[in-house]
Amino acid sequence: MAKVLNLTSKQKKLLNYLKSFIALNRRPPRLKEVAEFLGSKYLSTARFHLKALEKKNLIKIERGAIEIPDTENFVDQPISVRFLGYISAGKPFLTPEFEEFIRLDTLLFKGVKPSEVYILKARGNSMIEENIFDGDYLIVKSTNQAKDGDTVVATLNSESTIKKFYRYKDKIVLKPANKEFETIIVSGDLADKFQIQGVVIGLVRDYNFNK
């Protein structure tokens, strides 16, 4: 059985930060970057907390540089980002002071393994009533199965599209989320040329895409 280390909340957050930083940047953070993460302008504060991790054999500090054993293993670790609470989009209010971490794979992939998803960039306006706009990055679960109402990535006659999926006894309906676009009916011989490639489970929007 692996030994369970008694880490403080701050130590857990710092270790998580180190792992996430390495996964994103392919290098350990500098002392100044650690101090900034800790909300301090003093390098001595960063050294103090890093030393605490070093005493527990979780990291090494060599000539002022941070070394983390088994760095390569951290690259495939889930990346977590600080979650600082809620912010009002209406009447202003204050959030009680708190901080925790949210794993990005859980947030974006809805619990689906990263190896089971892929990303597409939307083009066009046929799904705007489903809040899918031109330029959005769509997170798609790779599957050839869908249920009524799912937003699917489908291939028909070797062309791919994103539409709402509905199945009836003798036909499949691919419905746009924009009244200016026509519904696609798949029946008869077309059914042999139709395939579901995935189901949209989320999206990421570049806030400055259209600016």
**Catalytic residues, which ones?**
126, 163
Secondary structure E strands in 22-158? 60-62, 65-67, 80-83, 100-103, 117-121, 137-142, 151-156
Judge contact between 155 and 146, C-beta under 8 A: no
Query: What are the contacts of 50-59 at 24+ separation with CB within 8 A?
Result: 50/14, 52/11, 53/11, 53/14, 53/15, 56/5, 56/7, 58/5, 58/15, 59/15, 59/18
For residue 197, CA distances in Å to 132, 154, 183, 194 come to 18, 5, 19, 10
